[in-house]
A and B are shown apart, each in its own frame.
Chain A
Amino acid sequence: MTPEPSTGPSNGASKGHSAELSTSGLRVQFATRGGRVARALDGADLVLRAGEVVALVGESGSGKTTLARSLVGLTAPAAGEIRWEGKALERSGRGLKRLRRQVQLVLQDPSGALNPRHTVYESVAEGLRIHKLVSGSGRTEAELVAQALSSAGLRPPEALFLRYPHELSGGQRQRVLIAGALAVSPKLLIADEPVSSLDASIRGEILALLLKLREELGLGVLVVTHDLGLAWNIADRIAVMYLGRIVETGPTEEVLTSPQHPYTQALLSVIPEVERLEPVVLTGEIPDPTRIPPGCRFHPRCPALASGEASGVADACRGTALPILSGDPGGHRCSCHLVSSREVVSS
């Protein structure tokens, strides 16, 4: 299949499930020392489609990186299902390889993620060779590598063919990683903290690149980050995670300007220089994924519960578990007893 740029944001075929990666009820567990089980991901429904940028936001321990890695099969789920283009994902070597041809992961640390003994050319060509994309494409390997490097903003691409990672700057390495992912012409790109290790002044360029990939190539992008400002900058939709669950999801503008969930509200309030909200600094650390609180997992730290605002539903917060939030891309949804009770009242 020849890679070709699309003209509009979505280049899927007319099938309803084209170029769509979805999970339902995904759970990932790790055994820890001491015999306890850490529920790193405790039930997530997420839908990713070509042509849109989704931000997966959360702090460390929220499960966002685990979710991203499970999407490309690097971590095996304990429960739940991943579907690609409507069909359940085969966890065989071949099935995963086929998935990885379409869904590419760009790892977090650009200096570690490139083999120091491989030149830029070899790193970018690796995907082409593994998936045998050169024969049948009508172009040489060098041309495809050059195209991928150009799409990632590295021009002229030939000047970088024989460089080694340690000869490049942080921004260039990140672009090489992105080029390596683009070389196989995926439909979806998952970027784990794409700019967190880069200098401030060059972040904008990498983010602009991700947006450009959506515009020009119709890629879907999932950006995993702890930075709400980044989500505001480039995401169409946002999903906020806490302790293994998605607690709020919806269009970025809505979620970040009128957050419903107390956790989202607290996160927004503490961003420096955001003056709209009174800072609510949550006490304590994110609790242990081996000891998830009963009921709503946020209730021990919930400012609404502590302040009495949620007194009407306090028993539910402490005792009743919340269902997994639907992954349906439309609409602004929130997983909170207080918010649900308000909706009931207002409807």
Chain B
Amino acid sequence: MTTETTPEATGTAAPDAALLAIRDLHVTYATGEGGLPAVRGVDLTVARGQIVGVAGESGCGKSTLASTVLRLQPPSATVSGQVLFDGRDVLAMRWGELRAVRWAGASIVFQGALHSLNPVHRIGAQLAEPMHIHQPGLDEARVTERVAELLDQVGMAPERAKSYPHQLSGGQKQRVMIAMALACDPELVVADEPTTALDVMVQAQVLNVLSELVRGRGVGMMMISHDLSVLADLCDRITVMYAGRVIEEGPADQVFAAPLHPYSGALSAAFPRVGDPAARFAPAGLPGDPPDPRNLTEGCSFAPRCPRAAPVCLHDEPGLVAYDDRAAACVRIGEPDLEAR
């Protein structure tokens, strides 16, 4: 039992062996109306061969987190903290080193991947592009071979390399995006909502592909989604974000089945389990809307919507507290429910 407050020390791999270690990351966007704090002090670790899930909704900062791993945030944004990829800080890297890391070290499967493919180029050409950039000496035959390999790995026929994006279905395009992310044999893959717009069956296929690829090759993966059940199925550990901060972290099945923080509980209940009689005619949701990063309230950012908010919650923003192998940021964990709403 540890008493330190950093999740790194609460059960994930030791920091030196970590493939990705994000430490106290703060990202603030510059807008016409002042700063927009998207990420407010996040710690996260991903070890080799480990799948870490990041759960949250719009405005929680998860996409910003993903793009910061490859330093893809807009130049006007203010960033502080460290993003250690294999021990080297991405945020402090020089351009040459960063370029090498981008795609060959770590790659991203973007949200809205359905629109990320260039409609005027064939799939094969787009898959070959990262290879041409990072391995310019590779001869064409080898590239074509590799493209066919990649398509096969995501369950698509090699002939598909000649198709244009509009000839593919949503699930197929998503798989092409995954194949593209693997083109340069990265050590880390960041998947931002990879299955959000997909049907259940296609989602299962894509998750299978991701899981096999990750487990089979020892790649580390950071998977972002608002669907806690998908994360619970696939990931080893889950980090839940709200309003730019981590509010819960722990082993995936525990976070899903027995969440500590009320928000994780709400997120878990939002996707009811088929077969659970308690979920019949009892839709569970939170009042209000996800917080606007421009208008964060004093105290706990979740308090306005929290069913267990107490007066103290309106003043102090709770820090992340460790509970064995887990951590959560809520002062009311363990207390009896004094004010049931």
Chain A contact residues, CB within 8 Å of chain B: 59-60, 169-172, 199-208, 211, 226-230, 232-234, 252-253, 256-257, 266-268, 270-274, 276, 279, 281-282, 285
Query: Is the CB–CB distance between A202 and B274 below 8 Å?
Result: no
Cβ–Cβ < 8 Å partners of A228 in chain B: 200, 274
Task: Tell me which residues across on chain A come within 8 A of B58, comparing CB atoms.
Answer: 199
For A227, give the chain B residue with the smallest CB separation.
Answer: B200
Ordered by A's residue number, 11 sampled pairs between the chains whose C-beta atoms are within 8 Å are A199-B226, A201-B305, A202-B289, A205-B285, A205-B286, A207-B285, A229-B274, A232-B273, A232-B274, A234-B281, A272-B230
**Which listed residue, B199, B207, B263, B289, touches A60 by the CB 8 Å rule?**
B199
B204 located at the interface, meaning its Cβ lies under 8 Å from any Cβ of chain A in the complex: yes
Query: Chain A nearest CB: distance from B282 CB in Å?
Result: 7
Interface of chain B residues 21 through 79 with chain A (CB within 8 A): 57-58
- Structural contact, B280 and A233, CB atoms closer than 8 A: yes
Q: Which residues of B contact A268 (CB under 8 A)?
A: 274
B285 touches A272 (CB 8 A): no
Query: Roughly how many angstroms separate A271 CA and B271 CA in the complex, as a whole number?
Result: 11
Which positions in B face A, CB cutoff 8 Å?
57-58, 169-172, 199-205, 207-208, 226-230, 232-234, 256, 263, 266-267, 269-276, 279-290, 305
> Contacts A229-B274, A281-B205; is A211 near B283 (CB within 8 Å)?
yes
Given contacts A202-B290, A207-B285, A273-B229, 13 further A-B contacts (CB under 8 A): A201-B57, A203-B283, A204-B286, A208-B283, A226-B200, A230-B272, A233-B272, A267-B201, A270-B201, A270-B203, A271-B229, A273-B232, A281-B201
- Residues of B within 8 Å of A201, CB to CB, are 57, 263, 266-267, 270, 285-286, 290, 305
- In the bound complex, do residue B171 and residue A256 qualify as a contact, i.e. CB atoms below 8 Å apart? no
Task: Look across to chain B and name the residue whose beta carbon is closest to the beta carbon of A232.
Answer: B274
Contact of B275 with A256 in the complex, beta carbons under 8 Å: yes
A51 vs chain B, min Cβ distance (A):
14
CA distance A235 to B18 in the complex (A): 46
The residue in chain B whose Cβ has the minimal distance to the Cβ of A282 is B201
| Cα-based distance from A271 to B228 in the complex (angstroms) | 12
Shortest distance between the CB of B70 and any CB in chain A (Å): 26
- B199 touching A59, Cβ below 8 Å: yes
- Cα–Cα, bound, A70→B138 (Å): 54
Q: A232-B274, A273-B233, A274-B274 are in contact. Are A226 and B199 (CB under 8 A)?
A: yes
- Most chain B Cβ neighbours within 10 Å, of A171, A211, A272: A272
> Are B204 and A279 closer than 8 Å at their CB atoms?
yes
How far is A234 from B204 in the complex, measured between Cα atoms in Å?
Answer: 24
Give every chain A residue within 8 A of B227 (Cβ-Cβ): 200, 272
Chain A residues with CB under 8 A of B199: 59-60, 226
- Which of B201, B270, B305 has the most CB atoms of chain A within a 10 A radius of its CB? B201
A279, B256: Cα distance in complex, Å? 19
